[in-house]
Amino acid sequence: MLKLGYKYHTKQSMWLVSQRVTIGSHADCDFVIKDPSILPEHVDLIVKDNRVTLVELTQRGTTWVNDVPVVSSCQLKVGDTIKLGHIELILSDPKYIQPPIELPKKAVSGWFLKVVDRSLPEKTYPVNDTLLVGRAIDCDIKINSPYLSRRHAELCLLEDVLYIKDLSSINGTFVNDEPVAEQRLRSGDRIRLDQLEFMIIGPPDNQHNTLRRSTLKVEYTRTTQKTGTGEATSRESSNPEYSIQQPQSAHVAKAGQFFTKPEVKNNKLPIWSILTVIVSGGGLGYWLFNLAKPFVMKFLHY
């Protein structure tokens, strides 16, 4: 028994048990797809003896099988991809083990859409090509809000520049509280779809610009000194911000010397100065003795 389902997810699928299966957006269809690109009755699948025939009902050229447009009808086989408007379906047979269909890998751009509204689960979505937000089942971010349009807004990345486009929504698209129809986005911008708030995270605007390195002034100071042997020695010093030229020493050491003995002045007194002090001191002492002698004798007499 064959099975019909979405190509890139398994949210909805059905077994082809009836001889006729109608696919469309009307609630009375056997396989209902709620999308603006799907007509009320889009195609019919005629099932007979495990063979499926697709009958196109729109006559508008909006049906493809394996990227080939269907004019009126065509025969389907297991593994065929059926594209109705923007929706892709696949016909499968569970009896056969089929390799999983992998989504095409996209390069990482560095742009993200972060949910900041408290009414929604906190999550961050990468934006690598286009990101469709709305209530439709094929939206990249599907939000069940009655005030959000089925296809409300689309984020598009063109040459590392991110844009947002309002898809004729009822309650509008806002960037930093300003209503927009199409607007370039920058990192830190706040997006509001109706009352649902998001934030843009991305690289800075100058990420592709070549930064100018600040130049440092380098000065060289050349100092020449003469050694005791008569040979001249030179040295160079540099500093990235400033240069300090050390003054040359007044005393130049001889080769092999590390320290210089300081000069000590001769502070010895001459002999005649010492004799003068002794004589003067002796005469003063003798005078004081004679002056005090009468008082001492008088004291002893009493």
Please give the tally of structural domains in the chain. Answer: 2
Of 24-33, 89-98, 245-254, which range is least confident?
245-254
46: closest CA among 2, 108, 102, 112?
A: 2
pLDDT of residue 245: 46
- On whether both 117 and 167 belong to a single domain, the answer is yes
Do residues 159 and 193 share a domain?
yes
300 in a structural domain:
no
Question: In this model, does residue 175 exceed pLDDT 90?
Answer: yes
279, part of any domain:
no
3-state SS string over 77-135? CCCCEEEECCEEEEEECCCCCCCCCCCCCCCCCCEEEEECCCCCCCCEEEECCEEEEEC
Give the mean pLDDT of the chain: 77
**Domain end residue (candidates: 143, 175, 201):** 201
* pLDDT tens-digit series, residues 179-229: 999 999 999 999 999 999 999 999 887 655 666 666 655 455 554 444 444
Which of 201, 227, 250 finishes a domain? Answer: 201
Quick one: 151 and 86 in the same domain?
A: no
Q: 79: pLDDT confidence band, cut at 50, 70 and 90?
A: confident
pLDDT score of 115 more than 90: yes
Boundary (domain end) residue, out of 58, 92, 126:
92
Let me know whether 122 and 175 are in one domain.
yes
Residue 37 identity (one-letter amino acid): S
Does pLDDT of 82 surpass 60? Answer: yes
In a domain, 236, yes or no: no
The confidence score (pLDDT) of residue 102 equals: 57
Binned at pLDDT 50, 70 and 90, residue 61 comes out as confident
In this prediction, residue 53 carries a pLDDT of 92
39 with 85, same domain? Answer: yes
- Which helix (H) or strand (E) segment holds residue 276: the answer is helix 271-301
Residue 183 within a domain = yes
Residues 87 and 129 in one domain: no
For the segment 247-287, what is each residue's pLDDT rounded down to a tens digit? 444 444 444 444 445 555 555 556 766 777 676 666 676 77
Percent of the chain with pLDDT over 70: 67
Q: What is the CATH number of the domain that holds 168?
A: 2.60.200.20
Asked if residue 122 has pLDDT above 50, the reply is yes
Asked whether residue 105 is domain-assigned, the answer is no
Do 64 and 116 lie in one domain? The reply is: no
Beta bridge partners of residue 133, listed in sequence order: 141, 153
| DSSP structure string for 180-214 | -SEEEE-TT-EEEETTEEEEEE---TTTTSPPPPP
Domain extent at residue 20: 3-92
- If asked whether residues 87 and 120 sit together in one domain, one would say no
Inform me whether the pLDDT recorded for 294 exceeds 90: no
Within-domain flag for 153:
yes
Calculate Rg over the CA atoms of the chain: 51
Query: Could you tell me if residue 220 is inside a domain?
Result: no
14 assigned to some structural domain: yes
pTM of the model: 0.39
pLDDT for 10 equals 58
